[in-house]
Amino acid sequence: MSDIFPTEAIAALFSLTDSAVIGTQNQRIAFLNPAARRALACDDVGRPASCLFPAHVLQSQAREFVTSAEIRGRRALLAVTTLGTFRLYTLHFEAKPELVNPIFVPQLDTLASFRLVADYFSHYAETADDPKLTRYSAELMRFYYQFHRWIRNASTLSALHDGTLPFQPTPVDCVAFLESVLTDVRYFAEIHGITLESDLPEGALLCEFDAGLIEQMLMNILVNSLLHCDKGDRVHVTLSSGKDRIYFTVYDTGSGIPPHKLATVFRSYAVQSLSPAEAGGAGFGLAVALGIAEKHGGTILVESSEGAGTSVRVLLEKKLPEGDAFKCMPPVYQARQNTALFSGLADFLDVKDFQSGAVE
């Protein structure tokens, strides 16, 4: 297509948009539209693309993907697409969002009384041996976990933007950690007819991260994949290691993300309009996952084609900068509680799962 339309013609297509768009060809910058020039206060036409974009962006072979990167000292969300021999980068410099009403954000403890009511109702329904009451109690418990997940994600996202998120990185064996998370999730995936596979290295793979936050990140990514899968689909998880980084990849054979949604899956400003029921499939969880990855010196790259599955690749630093690791007492993440699992899976599980007694 670039043989039909010269650089000037393609640049003209984006000259009037308010979004910052940069075009590259043969790893060199071909054009910056006016919005990109204003945002970056530069005009790097003709220079190597590496002067603006980091390696994880330039090395991706996907035709379309979204990720984050630091561009000229500013955090940007990137939506990348291919047009002939051109690669087009749409940059979104996200301002601090107006998140959900702060009344609902800070304290997960406020759900304690709700849980007591749900537990009492569940016990009463079981004692009464009433199928209708049993279903009602299952619906109530499912809503509790959905609301728990929503508040936890909203609290995390708010704290990430405010710089108040508790951060407790310690040395962790990534292989054993990931096996533990996948074992719990695999049980429920198989109940729904979805195969959860993994390809993990042998032996230990040590790195530094906050296990509670990384578990939340992985659960958000896994649930996003499961929600796009039907019976007979497959989710494949891999873990690999480079010199300074580790890589988690979650690939699914599900329905994929439509192009118009792919470009905005990390846009956390949408949180302000979401209800707990809507938050699961609207990219809210992926915005939180990206923030957690960035907190660990990494990022996330999402590739998807509608009807052809989705690949989510997480890049994390093996060793955090001096002063981040070991600054807090080690968290008691080894004693993992069911609440984190059921809260993480709440949008994927249905009422029958709660009626079966598997979720308590």
Residue 106 binned pLDDT confidence (cut-offs 50, 70, 90): very low
In the chain, domain spans: 7-92, 170-355
- Joined together, the tokens standing for residue 54 give 């980091």
Handedness of CA 192, 354, 265, 243 (dihedral sign): negative
Identical fold at 7-92 and 170-355? no
- For residue 201, give the amino acid letter: P
User: Which residues, including other chains, have CB under 8 Å from residue 153's CB and lie 6 or more apart?
Assistant: 216, 220, 279, 284, 285, 288
Reply yes or no on whether the pLDDT at 254 is more than 80: yes
pLDDT tens, residue by residue, 113-164 = 777 777 777 777 778 777 788 888 888 888 888 888 888 888 888 888 888 8
* Residue 131 DSSP class: H
Task: State what percent of residues in the chain have pLDDT above 90.
Answer: 41
> Which stretch of 55-59, 91-95, 162-166, 179-183 has the lowest confidence by average pLDDT?
91-95
Q: What CATH number matches the domain at 170-355, 3.30.565.10, 3.40.50.2000, 3.40.50.10490, 3.20.20.70?
A: 3.30.565.10
Region 286-312: mean pLDDT is 91
Average pLDDT, the chain: 82
How many CA atoms lie within 13 Å of 303's alpha carbon, on the beta-carbon side? 16
Most confident of 41-45, 292-296, 315-319: 292-296
**pTM of the model as a whole:** 0.84
Q: Which of 20, 5, 150 is nearest to 80 (CA)?
A: 20
Top-level class of domain 7-92: alpha beta
Q: Please tell me the predicted confidence (pLDDT) of residue 338.
A: 67
d(CA 62, CA 107): 41
Question: Helices (DSSP H) in the chain: which residue ranges?
Answer: 7-13, 34-40, 55-58, 112-128, 131-162, 174-191, 211-227, 259-262, 276-279, 284-295, 338-345, 351-355
pLDDT tens, residue by residue, 302-336 = 998 877 899 999 999 988 765 554 444 443 333 34
